[in-house]
């Protein structure tokens, strides 16, 4: 049985925003956001829709008690997109700062995904 991950924030209404950039770390960020949503840590939301100022998506983000931003690299596109729309993430995680080197290989390595996923879980479970 898979270990259940919870955000230590204690909130049931957590918005998860992720990078989905054209690199391994961008795709790992996206994959982890999908997994966190499936584990009911929070609900994955559309980062691009926030950047596009789509009204319904902005309202969904506004209705979240907590926001998690998962970026692939130090460009911090997810965090910047949220901040430009007036949101401040409660948690900001950068995959390339977790020991995964950024490259353009979109064929993800299972060991890198697992390493990043385990470290993200640790971060979310700590305060």
| pLDDT the model gives residue 127 | 61
pLDDT average, residue stretch 7-18: 76
Residue 6, domain member (yes or no): no
| Greater model confidence, 5 or 121 | 121
1 domain residue, yes or no: no
In a domain, residue 101? The reply is: yes
Rounded CA-CA distance 11/55 in Å is: 24
Supply the range of the domain harboring residue 18.
12-123
Residue 7 in domain: no
User: Contact, 18 vs 77, CB < 8 A?
Assistant: no
Looking at residue 112, its pLDDT comes to 97
Residue 2 within a domain:
no
Q: Residue 3 falls within a domain, yes or no? A: no
Per the structure, how many domains does the chain have? 1
Q: Looking at beta carbons, which pairs linking 91-99 to residues 24 or more positions away fall under 8 Å?
A: 91/7, 91/9, 91/66, 91/67, 91/123, 91/124, 92/68, 93/68, 93/69, 93/120, 93/123, 95/19, 95/25, 95/26, 95/28, 95/29, 95/32, 95/70, 95/71, 96/25, 96/72
Q: How far apart are CA 63 and CA 15, in angstroms?
A: 9
The string of pLDDT tens digits covering residues 29-72 is 999 999 999 999 999 999 999 999 999 999 999 999 999 999 99
pLDDT above 90 as % of the chain: 89
Kindly state whether residue 27 falls inside one of the protein's structural domains. Answer: yes
- Tell me the mean pLDDT in the region 105-127: 94
pLDDT score, position 121? 94
Residue 70: strand, helix, or coil: strand
Domain annotation covers residue 4:
no
Task: Match 């994955």 to its residue by tokens.
Answer: 44
**pLDDT higher than 70, residue 2:** no
Residues 6+ apart with CB under 8 A from 112: 24, 28, 100
Is 6 a residue whose pLDDT tops 80? Answer: no
Task: Tell me the mean pLDDT in the region 105-123.
Answer: 96
| pTM of structure | 0.90
pLDDT for residue 45: 97
């Amino acid at each position: 049985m898979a270990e259940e991950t919870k955000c230590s924030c204690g909130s049931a209404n957590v918005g998860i925003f992720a990078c989905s950039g054209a690199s391994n770390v961008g795709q790992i960020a996206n994959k982890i956001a999908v997994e966190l949503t499936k584990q009911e840590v929070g609900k994955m939301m559309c980062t691009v829709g926030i950047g596009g100022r789509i009204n319904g998506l902005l309202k969904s983000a506004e209705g979240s008690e907590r926001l998690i931003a998962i970026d692939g690299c130090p460009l911090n596109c997810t965090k910047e997109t949220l901040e430009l729309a007036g949101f401040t993430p409660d948690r900001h995680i950068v995959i390339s700062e977790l020991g995964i080197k950024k490259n353009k290989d979109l064929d993800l390595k299972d060991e890198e995904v697992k390493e990043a996923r385990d470290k993200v879980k640790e971060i979310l479970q700590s305060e």
